[in-house]
Structure 1
Amino acid sequence: MLRELRQHPRQWDVTLAGKTGTEGAATVEAMMSLLWTGQTSRHGNLQTTREETPAEARMAVDLAVSLVRWFADGAVRRR
C-alpha cells in the first residue's frame, strides 16, 4: 500500500484532501511510512529489533487504528 500511495498519489481519493487535493494522500503516506519505519518489532520481525517504549507502542497502535479505520470506511480509497 505504501508503494502504491508513493507511486500514484493522484489515484487515491482522501475525504480530507487538502488545498491542492493531494495533501490528504501525502499525509496518509507519511503516516504509513512513520508506522512502517518507526515500529521495528511488528509482525514478529526476523531481524533483531530494539526494545520499544510503551509510549511508542501506544502511538503505533493509535496510528494503525486511524489508518485502518480510514481505509475501511472509504475515507481513503482508490479512484
Structure 2
Amino acid sequence: MKAGREQLIVPLSNEAAVRRARPRPDLLAQLASDDGASMAYIFAPMGRRLLARFFFPQGPAVVEDPATGSATANLGGWCL
C-alpha cells in the first residue's frame, strides 16, 4: 500500500497474533520497496478498533515504531 510511502500491510487474524509477532530482520529486509525501504505494518481487529504494530529493520535488528505516522494513512487506505 502506498499513501505517500510504500509499506507492507499485513492483516492478522486476531489481537494475540499481533502481540506475538516477532519479525526476523533477514526476512523483513527481503521485502524492500522500490525506494529500498523494508517496512511491515501488521494489524488485527480488536472489537470496533484495530491493534497495529509497525516494524522496520535497522542493521541486524528489527525496530518497532509506535505505528502512529505515515503507516496509519496506508492502513486507512487498505481498509477502504
| TM-score, reference length from structure 1 | 0.26
- Which one has a bigger Cα radius of gyration? 1
| TM-score, reference length from structure 2 | 0.26
Structure number with the higher helix fraction is: 1
Greater relative contact order (Cα < 8 A, sep 6+): 1
